[in-house]
Amino acid sequence: MNKIFLLIAVLVVTISCSKNENNMSLTGNVKGLKKGTLYLQKIEDSLLVTVDSVTIHGKSTFQFNETVNSPEIYYLHVKIKDGILQDDRISFFAEPKEIQINTSLEKFSMDAKITGSENENKYKEYNKLMERYRNRNLELIENSLTARQNGNDSLALVHENKQKSELSRRYLATINFALNNNNSEIAPYLMISHVNNSRLKYLDTVYNSLTPKIKDSKYGKVLESLIVSRKASLQE
């Protein structure tokens, strides 16, 4: 009988520890939010779904506890007291650990400060890298439009060709970033969300470079499925 109780106790502890290992404790503050509802959301089967919500009354602080089996992108959305949903959402890389988001109601996504997520830090690093490519692209678009307005189609074509070259550079920079971070979930995420239409050989190269843990992650499996699908379409 004692052995049975001991076995049950071990199972309870094991299950409890497993749940704690996959638990994300999300806390934070929305400055200026006195009354409303915060929604924790993620993508499931190509649809944005709400997985939890917290009602705010007076205090602008919040807390969510969510099971995150594999790091992935989640969203924080807000509905204020008169029932109006904010247009913007805060996107962040959820992980099974303590994460904090502090922001304001006025500039909900722009003011968001996210801490505690390793993949989120990597994503910030990537976005900073991409900023110069985005700025260069906007500059080339402006130059092309100005040239066409002035009737100089040949010069506009030069700027448009430079845009194509800049796009190729951005793709290669993304692929290189993924290769350099092959032990993080950010690597397969970037490949499926930012450069999923790149050459199959690049998708293959990044996937084969991933560590076993990352290959087994949610985004690692999605990248594998994408590669299998692309290869199958070539054989049709």
β-pair type (113-115, 90-94): unpaired
Q: What is the pLDDT of residue 135?
A: 80
Q: Please provide the average confidence, as pLDDT, over all residues in the chain.
A: 88
Q: For the ranges 4-8, 148-152, 225-229, which has the lowest average pLDDT? A: 4-8
pLDDT tens-digit profile of 35-51? 999 999 999 988 999 99
pLDDT at 4: 52
pLDDT band at 5 (very low <50, low <70, confident <90, very high): very low
What strands lie across the sheet with 98-104, from one edge to the other?
A: 61-67, 23-31, 98-104, 113-115
Q: Per residue in 79-135, pLDDT tens? A: 987 766 777 899 999 999 999 999 999 999 999 999 999 999 999 999 999 998 888
CATH superfamily of 2-116: Immunoglobulins (2.60.40.10)
Does pTM surpass 0.75?
yes
Choose between 158 and 130: higher pLDDT.
130
Q: Token pair of 234, please?
A: 């070539």
Look at 4-13, 89-98, 131-140, 160-169 and tell me which has the smallest mean pLDDT: 4-13
Closest by alpha carbon to 76, among 52, 44, 47?
52
Length of the chain: 236
In the chain, the amino acid numbered 191 is: M
Q: Hey, what amino acid is at 71?
A: P
Per-residue pLDDT at 236: 66
Q: Say if CB 80 and CB 43 are below 8 A apart.
A: no
Backbone angles phi, psi at 203, to 5 degrees: -60, -45
Q: How confident is the model at residue 7 (pLDDT cuts 50, 70, 90)?
A: very low
Closest by alpha carbon to 44, among 78, 79, 73?
73
Helix, strand, coil distribution of the chain in percent, nearest 5? 50, 25, 25
**CB atoms near residue 43 (< 10 Å):** 12
Mean pLDDT, residues 55-66: 93
Residue 6 in this model has a pLDDT that exceeds 90: no
